[in-house]
Amino acid sequence: MTALIHALEEQGDLIEQQMRVVQGRSLEMVWDSGAARAMTRSLEDVVSHLAAGAREARVSAHECRAYLVRAEEARKMDDANAALLGLTPAVIR
């Protein structure tokens, strides 16, 4: 799970970085015709998808981290319950 969280965070950074590369390339150019405007629109679509992708990756990483915290708390509670009942934690789980 920890490796997944790191991968998701890296992925968020990577997508954002690639989004900047694509935007940077497009800024080198001045678009001024019907065909170019259509291309600009699909570029804008791609950039907004990439932005959404970076956001989703970060939210996923955040959720996974929160999940880990909650799972750890649950594990501690299981251990405490097991100790109270004089059982080994594995039986509770």
> Which residues 59-78 are close enough to bind other proteins by CB under 8 A?
59-60, 62-64, 66-67, 70-71, 74-75, 77-78
Question: Nearest Cα to 1, choosing from 75, 55, 54, 53?
Answer: 75
Per-position x/- string for 11-50, each x denoting binding to other proteins as judged by CB under 8 A, each - no binding: x--xx--x--xx--xx-xxxxxx-xx-xx--xx-xx--xx
Closest distance between other proteins and the C-beta of residue 86, in Å?
17
Identify whether the C-beta of residue 64 lies closer than 8 Å to the C-beta of residue 8: yes
Task: Check binding of 83 to other proteins (CB under 8 A).
Answer: no
Matching residue, tokens 């100790």:
83
* Residue 81 DSSP one-character state: H
